[in-house]
């Protein structure tokens, strides 16, 4: 450290063994003047952080974080405050990450003393225990968001989570079926009198998310005009079903149904109504499109088992239900080459999401490109 005027703070003359630069300054915390360290990736970045910290100290806005405030306690306060602004499934996911990963690893650490190396060790430990990069990335996102709030509340002066890089999150591979395989799947399902054939047709004919299909009610469907309004998404929380808002604002959309799809839905409603009459039970026309006998919606676990059975019966490889959505996007991108249309159909908030996921070329497109170039030769 170079010598500086009293209270000015200083930056180390060379980086630490771990490659980071360190700056030190004194500040009054909990009524006592203490030596505090700041870290950065470069000397310039560290000096900038030091100037900001000194400015905050001199302005009297540095946090007075008490050693009694732990990371775990703060996380509980934070999630309780933001939960009303989150979708139910998102809030439940945040709470699970806090409960299963953040609190056990760093919950007892005083909030003002949380260090980057402690966060790094937590990520490494999660990886060793078998957590996926996606889970670690989600945990890092929750911690970062919470510490940003701690900065706004002046409980800490820096977000140490921003100094640590979580394992890179890999985009999962997805599988798709082509138009011929869609016909094959629906034909074998229909021949086997699969009661969920209309659901498979709806998924493969619109690209709707599973929660959107399970939360679909008959008042949302206008069969005369061939329109369907995505108004809700069904989520399963704490043993009960909840109709939540769609994933994004763009997810709340109007879908145009093809004539074959309208016919399947008409047949589905007629079959369900007739079955209820034969069995002496009522059929609520304002209820869910896909439901159990007692009117409750179908669970995701029931649907995925039936979906895999339908794929097996058609001689197709097993895939996630969400891959039906990917199949719709891929088919549309092949046929229309219009990312804006695909984004609107899928309910993507940004066209960049559509382009990043589906702007790949298929083998047939490669062959077509080769033929075009061949003509030039």
In a domain, 46, yes or no: yes
Task: Residue 75: give its domain's CATH number.
Answer: 1.10.150.130
**Do 217 and 341 belong to one domain?**
yes
| Token duo for residue 239 | 């043993």
Number of domains in the chain: 3
Q: Which domain holds residue 147?
A: 71-163
Question: φ, ψ for residue 234 (rounded to 5)?
Answer: -85, 130
Residues 78-107 as b or e (16 or more Cβ within 10 Å = b)? bbeeeeeeebbbebbebbebbeebbbebbb
Longest dimension (CA), the chain: 91
**Do 187 and 301 belong to one domain?**
yes
pLDDT at 54: 79
**Do 283 and 314 belong to one domain?**
yes
In a domain, 231, yes or no: yes
66-80, 213-227, 262-276: which range is least confident on average? 66-80
* Nearest in space to 348 (alpha carbons), one of 335, 363, 333, 334: 333
pLDDT at 58: 67
- Choosing from 163, 197, 221, the residue where a domain stops is 163
pLDDT at 26: 77
pLDDT level of residue 5 (50, 70, 90 thresholds): very low
Residue 25 has pLDDT above 70, yes or no: yes
| Token duo for residue 263 | 């016919």
71-85, 177-191, 242-256, 319-333: which range is least confident on average? 242-256
DSSP string covering 205-236: HH---HHHHHT-BGGGEETTTTEEE---EEEE
In a domain, 171, yes or no: no
**Do 276 and 148 belong to one domain?**
no
Find the mean pLDDT for residues 268-292. Answer: 90
51-55, 86-90, 118-122, 334-338: which range is least confident on average? 334-338
Q: Does residue 85 or residue 227 have the better pLDDT?
A: 227
Residue 238 has pLDDT above 70, yes or no: no
Segments in 6-70 forming alpha helices (H): 43-58
**Do 43 and 89 belong to one domain?**
no
Beta partners for residue 255, in sequence order: 228
**Do 279 and 330 belong to one domain?**
yes
In a domain, 63, yes or no: no
Taking the C-alpha atoms of residue 104 and residue 112, their distance in angstroms, rounded to an integer, is 18
In a domain, 173, yes or no: no
Contact 248, 344 (CB under 8 A): no
Residue carrying structure tokens 């088992």: 305
**Do 223 and 360 belong to one domain?**
yes
pLDDT level of residue 31 (50, 70, 90 thresholds): very low
pLDDT at 143: 96
Taking the C-alpha atoms of residue 298 and residue 285, their distance in angstroms, rounded to an integer, is 16
**Do 282 and 202 belong to one domain?**
yes
6-15, 101-110, 318-327: which range is least confident on average? 6-15
Find the mean pLDDT for residues 249-254. Answer: 84
In a domain, 239, yes or no: yes
**Do 230 and 356 belong to one domain?**
yes
pLDDT at 366: 56
User: Across all residues in the chain, what is the average pLDDT?
Assistant: 84
Residue 312 has pLDDT above 90, yes or no: yes
Whole-structure pTM value: 0.62
Taking the CA atoms of residue 161, residue 167, residue 173 and residue 174 in that order, the dihedral angle to the nearest 10 degrees is: -20
Taking the C-alpha atoms of residue 200 and residue 316, their distance in angstroms, rounded to an integer, is 14
**Do 266 and 347 belong to one domain?**
yes
pLDDT at 3: 43
pLDDT at 374: 59
| Token duo for residue 181 | 């395989």
């Amino acid at each position: 450290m170079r010598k500086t005027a009293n209270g000015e703070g200083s930056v180390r003359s060379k980086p630490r063994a771990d490659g980071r630069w360190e700056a030190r300054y004194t500040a009054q915390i909990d009524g006592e003047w203490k030596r505090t360290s700041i870290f950065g990736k470069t000397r310039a970045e560290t000096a900038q952080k030091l100037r900001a910290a000194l400015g905050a100290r001199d302005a009297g806005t540095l946090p007075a974080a008490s050693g009694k405030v732990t990371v775990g306690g703060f996380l509980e306060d934070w999630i309780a405050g933001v939960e009303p602004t989150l979708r139910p499934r998102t809030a439940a996911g945040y709470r699970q990450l806090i409960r299963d990963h953040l609190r056990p690893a760093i919950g007892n650490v005083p909030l003002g003393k949380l260090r980057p190396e402690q966060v790094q060790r937590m990520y490494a430990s999660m990886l060793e225990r078998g957590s996926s990069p996606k889970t670690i990335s989600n945990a890092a996102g929750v911690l970062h968001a919470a510490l940003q709030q701690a900065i706004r509340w002046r409980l800490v002066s820096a977000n140490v989570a921003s100094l640590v890089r979580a394992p890179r999150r890999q985009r999962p591979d997805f599988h798709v079926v082509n138009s011929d395989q869609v016909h094959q799947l629906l034909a074998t399902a229909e021949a086997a009198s699969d009661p969920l054939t209309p659901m498979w047709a709806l998924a493969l004919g619109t690209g709707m998310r599973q929660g959107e299909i399970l939360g679909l009610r008959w008042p949302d469907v206008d069969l005369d005009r061939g329109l369907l309004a995505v108004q809700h998404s069904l989520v399963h929380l704490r043993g009960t079903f909840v109709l939540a808002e769609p994933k994004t604002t763009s997810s709340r959309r109007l879908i145009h149904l093809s004539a074959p799809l309208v016919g399947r839905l008409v047949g589905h409603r007629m079959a369900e109504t007739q079955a209820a009459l034969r069995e002496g039970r009522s059929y609520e026309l304002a209820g869910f499109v896909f439901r159990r006998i007692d009117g409750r919606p179908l669970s995701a676990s029931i649907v995925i088992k039936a979906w895999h059975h339908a794929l097996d019966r058609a001689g197709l490889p097993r895939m996630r239900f969400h891959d039906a959505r990917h199949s719709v996007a891929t088919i549309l991108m092949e046929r229309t080459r219009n990312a804006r249309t695909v984004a609107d159909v899928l309910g993507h908030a940004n066209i960049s999401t559509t382009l990043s996921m589906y702007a790949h070329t298929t083998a047939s497109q490669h062959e077509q490109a080769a033929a075009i170039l061949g003509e030039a030769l």
